Structure 1
Amino acid sequence: MASTEPAATGRILLLGATGTQGRAVARALCARGHEVLALVRPQAGRSIPEVAASLPGVALFWGDIAQPGTVTACLAQAGPVRAVVSCLASRTGAAEDAWAIDHRAHAEGLDAARAFGVRQFVQLSAICLQRPRLVFQQAKLAFEAQLQASALDWVIVRPTAYFKSLSGQVERVRRGRAFLVFGDGTATACRPISDADLATYLVDCLDDPRRQRRILPIGGPPPALTPRDQASLLAELTGQPLRLRPVPIGLLDAIVAGLSLAARLTPRRWRAAVEARAEYARIGRYYASESMLVWDEASGRYREDLTPATGHETLADHYRQLLAGH
């Protein structure tokens, strides 16, 4: 629910602004009348004008956030900032990247925010942290603990699933190929949320006193969707018959075991690369077997009825746009 309090505009530092969700948050902040500053990492293959064109109305500060002192230098140059909103996340989830970005960069950003008198910190996180088994989850949780221990008005938002993460098989189905599922495609479910609806929710957190100092899971409109539901939806929208290709979950287990063994046996100079591949496999295994809904400890299961919903855009809307070429 949006706040009934009057919204206050101000200068906002946005981290992770060049990602899909970051750009949506930048647009939402600008639409509310905020002055948006973005700390932008140098990007291979993209010029400064190209990045600036993707973030209209946003003042850009260039720097590698993984390097110590970058956020401090940005805030020193920017002047007073009301809040930090972070959509920043490691790009791979591998150990080195996760601890560098999901933990250390955020921790330094928090220290800089406190040093410069920033009052709020809104953190985009992930619902999978409620049952952590992966390196990036541990890194995120380590920072979240630091944020919660701070005196800032913090908000941690944990979305269920993104439309983008559920779009990898659209072209495959359009071409008449089978939709890949683990098992029968009904073991997991999520309630995906659009970039725009999540951006609105994040920006609302700045002005809603009921959300301060809380961890907030959030999903898009009901119902929750299984992979089989996603396949059925794509079949209907493309006019293709429903075709499913089951993939044994045990195949992922074998891949994880094989890569984990290889990492232990690999010479030290190549070990990090093999360990990263093993972690990618663990990430895939995790998402193949865990629902992205609120986990209820009392019942020992994921529950859609406990998963809050917001927004109006559905995955069907998103699929229609993709199929129309938008």
Structure 2
Amino acid sequence: MDKTGNEAGQARIVLVGATGDLGLRIARALSARGAEVLALVREGAKTAAIASSGAAIQTIDFNDAMALRDTLHGTSCVVSALNGLEDTIIGLQGRVLDAAVAAGVQRFIPSDYSLDFTKTKPGRNRNLDLRRRFMARVDAAPIRATSILNGAFADLLAGQAPIVLRGPRIVLHWGGADQLLDFTTKDDVAAYTAAAALDPDTPRILRIAGDSVTPRDLAATMQMLTGHRFRLVRPGGTPALSAIIKVARVLAPQPSAVFPAWQGMQYLRDMMDGSGKLAPLDNDRYQDMSWTKAQQVLADAGQRP
């Protein structure tokens, strides 16, 4: 099989987390590459969208180790797109990992899909600390794992991430205006993950960035797209952002929320200080991949009502 994965039509891929946004996109991307995709879901899960992706669906009790092991027999690779806190990333994903090992599955792609947490400091980002803990667990298991790291989802530039603010026409940044920030759209992450799942020779970590742009680049892009000047605004450096994070965790702790405001701030800090920068990039590993630039994401967002 070549590195495009196009000759792996017989490969059986088991996907967990397919009911989520990214997971559904991965299911579609795997089906588009000719894989036999089995999505494992809990009882009562909404599966209409998954069914339309081309994936087969099996309801399973993730607490039943024997049933999970039997289901995974004959699988080439298990792909996780689970999203949550410790119960999910360590607990549920860990049970899937254990079952994959027991079933003799050769490869496992954990639900990382983030900036490069292997280069950031432990204790500064709760969600990335969970991924760091799971990385230690999967590395101790007799299975070949591949983490896919993609920076931030470029889709968030459309308004969810507090970076490009269309109303006041500003671009916020907490580090230098020329700090490169990595962004990859969810569709591009899904397409790359599908290719990696069908590639038997993947290394331990694959780093990708659909685009790497600075806050200054984003301001220039917005001026070009809108005809209006976008100002660069730096409310403070990353130490100031760290102070805001501490206050936010006291005033609005939301310990059971996956993405409380302070969690987003932690992620933003790891981007803006450069600690989570991806390098070197593995964008060229699959020659049939194309990449969506930040300019296209911002242009598309401007056309929405």
Which bin holds the TM-score, normalised by the shorter protein?
Answer: 0.7 to 0.9
Which residue in 2 is equivalent to 1:267? Answer: none
Which residue in 1 is equivalent to 2:104? Answer: 117
Counterparts of 1:179 and 1:185, CA distance in 2: 15
The code of the aligned residue for 2:17 comes to G
The runs of 5 or more residues in structure 1 that have no matched partner are 91-96, 264-269, 295-302
Counterparts of 1:41 and 1:278, CA distance in 2: 30
* Root-mean-square deviation over aligned CA pairs: 3.6
Which residue in 1 is equivalent to 2:215? Answer: 227
Is 1:61–1:74's contact at 8 Å kept on the other side of the alignment? no
Q: TM-score, normalised by structure 2?
A: 0.77
The code of the aligned residue for 1:309 comes to N
Q: For residues 72 and 155 of structure 1, do their structure 2 counterparts lie closer, same or farther at Cα, with a shift above 3 Å needed?
A: farther
Q: Which has the higher helix share?
A: 1
Which residue in 1 is equivalent to 2:295? Answer: 316
The share of aligned pairs that are identical, in percent, is: 27
Which residue in 2 is equivalent to 1:56? Answer: 53
What secondary structure is seen at the aligned counterpart in 2 of 1:211?
Answer: coil
Which residue in 1 is equivalent to 2:225? Answer: 237
Residue deviations 1:210-259 (CA, integer Å, cap 9, x gap): 314x22222225xx211232232123212322233432245533323435
What secondary structure is seen at the aligned counterpart in 2 of 1:216?
Answer: strand
Matches within 5 A, 1:1-326: 3=3, 6-40=7-41, 48=46, 50-52=48-50, 55-62=52-59, 68-69=63-64, 73-74=67-68, 76=70, 80-90=74-84, 97=85, 99-125=86-112, 126-130=114-118, 131-132=120-121, 133-168=124-159, 176-183=167-174, 186=177, 188-212=179-203, 214-221=204-211, 224-249=212-237, 251-259=240-248, 272=255, 281-290=265-274, 292-294=276-278, 306-310=280-284, 311-325=290-304
Q: For residues 308 and 114 of structure 1, do their structure 2 counterparts lie closer, same or farther at Cα, with a shift above 3 Å needed?
A: closer
Which residue in 2 is equivalent to 1:93? Answer: none
Residue deviations 1:24-59 (CA, integer Å, cap 9, x gap): 21111101121222234579xxx8365446x53222
Report the Cα offset of residue 82 of structure 1: 2.5
The code of the aligned residue for 1:293 comes to K
Instruction: Single out whichever of 157-166 and 185-194 deviates more from structure 2.
Output: 185-194
Is 2:181–2:272's contact at 8 Å kept on the other side of the alignment? no
Counterparts of 1:184 and 1:271, CA distance in 2: 27
- The number of aligned residues is 291
